[in-house]
């Protein structure tokens, strides 16, 4: 099982701060695609991903028990 955390507007779009699903064995890119479809998230592909609070790229594979966080980059200033 994995815990998935959503930051900023993603949290509002999903309706929860975190969800639990089993995505072990899948890449970050695959999980983004899956969640974008499930929750109709427009800009999840450009979000940064952390696995266990460490930066992960789209090719990284998620393991059982990993905590995955999606953080959307912002440009305001």
Partner 1 sequence: MYERYSRQMLFAPIGKNGQEKLRAKHVLMIGAGALGSSNGEILTRAGVGKLTIVDRDYVEASNLQRQQLYTEEDVLQKLPKAVAAERRLRAINSDVELCAVVGDATPEMLDELVKGVDLILDATDNFETRMALNDIAHKYQIPWIYGACVGSFGMSFTIIPGKTPCLNCLLKSLPVQGMTCDTVGIIAPTVQMVVAHQTAEALKILVEDWEALRHSFVSFDLWRNQYSSMKMSRAKDESCLSCGSERTYPYLSRENLMKSEVLCGRDTVQIRPSKEGEVDLNELAAHLSSIHYEVKGNPYLLSIEMEANRIVIFKDGRALIHGTKDLAQARSIYQRLLG
Tell me which residues touch partner 1 (CB under 8 A): 7-9, 11-12, 17, 42-43, 46, 48, 50, 53-57, 69, 71-77
The minimum distance between CB 27 and partner 1, in angstroms, equals 15
Taking the least distance from each CB to partner 1, the nearer of 3 and 43 is 43
Minimum CB distance to partner 1 smaller for 37 or for 55: 55
Cα dist from 26 to 13, 33, 40, 76, whole Å? 23, 11, 20, 33
Closest to 43 (Cα-Cα) out of 16, 3, 6: 6
Q: Give CA–CA dist 20/26, Å, rounded.
A: 15
> With respect to partner 1, which residue has the nearer C-beta, 20 or 74?
74
């Amino acid at each position: 099982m994995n815990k998935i955390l959503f930051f900023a507007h993603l949290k509002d779009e999903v309706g929860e701060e975190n969800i639990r699903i089993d995505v072990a064995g899948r890449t970050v890119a695959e999980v983004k695609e899956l969640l974008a479809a499930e929750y109709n998230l427009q800009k999840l592909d450009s979000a940064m991903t952390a696995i266990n609070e460490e930066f992960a790229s789209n090719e990284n594979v998620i393991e059982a028990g990993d905590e995955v966080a999606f953080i959307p980059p912002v440009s305001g200033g």
